[in-house]
Amino acid sequence: MDNKEVIAYKVFYKGLINRYGKKFETLKIYSVQGKIQWGNNGKGFHMCSYPEDCFRYFESDADLVLAKVRGFGHLYSVDDNYNGYYDMYVCESMEILEVYNREEIINIMLGLDYDRVRKFLITNDLSPMEIELFKDAYKNDNDVLDVISYHQEGEKEVYVKKRGMYNG
């Protein structure tokens, strides 16, 4: 893509600090010069179409915020289907439109379908209260409850037990 615009999501440490220690502000435009490139050694602003895809780039116990961003100028999409993540972008310019705190992030995630909420649950450490919110919201979805048991509560036998039910 070239000279397009995308509305996407990006995660920052609290205070809008990126993984490399640079501080950002809302409604301010940031740009890079030169050829944009994907990856840890790339150049440009990386973002994801779906908020749950952003969290895998940060420590799960970090104090994070989620930002809705506008990426524009020279940009291209990256299909990272090896890890099950899609619709990611690297952009020449970025503007932070809105920032969501932890409570708002949890509320956004509580309404997602299995595939999307699973990505969030495996890349974030939830508090006991947050775990209960997810268990209540997905009380009729055994697949989500299994993900919570395994990734949040440490029940490492949940899938072994389930496999045993299917085999005999």
Give the model confidence (pLDDT) of 17-52 as tens digits: 998 899 999 999 999 998 888 777 778 999 999 999
User: Residue 84 above 70 pLDDT?
Assistant: no
Q: How confident is the model at residue 168 (pLDDT cuts 50, 70, 90)?
A: very low
Domain boundaries, the chain: 4-101, 104-167
- CA pair distance 123, 60, nearest whole angstrom: 6
Higher pLDDT, 123 or 78: 123
Higher pLDDT, 124 or 167: 124
Q: For position 167, what pLDDT does the model report?
A: 45
Q: How confident is the model at residue 104 (pLDDT cuts 50, 70, 90)?
A: very high
Which residues face 48 on adjacent strands?
A: 9, 88
Higher pLDDT, 158 or 27: 27
What's the whole-number mean pLDDT along residues 81-95? Answer: 77
Instruction: Give the H or E element holding residue 92.
Output: strand 88-100
pTM for this predicted structure:
0.85
Q: For position 22, what pLDDT does the model report?
A: 94
Residue 106 CA to chain centroid, in angstroms? 12
Q: For position 10, what pLDDT does the model report?
A: 96
150-158: long-range pairs with CB below 8 Å, 24+ = 151/121, 151/122, 152/121, 152/125, 152/126
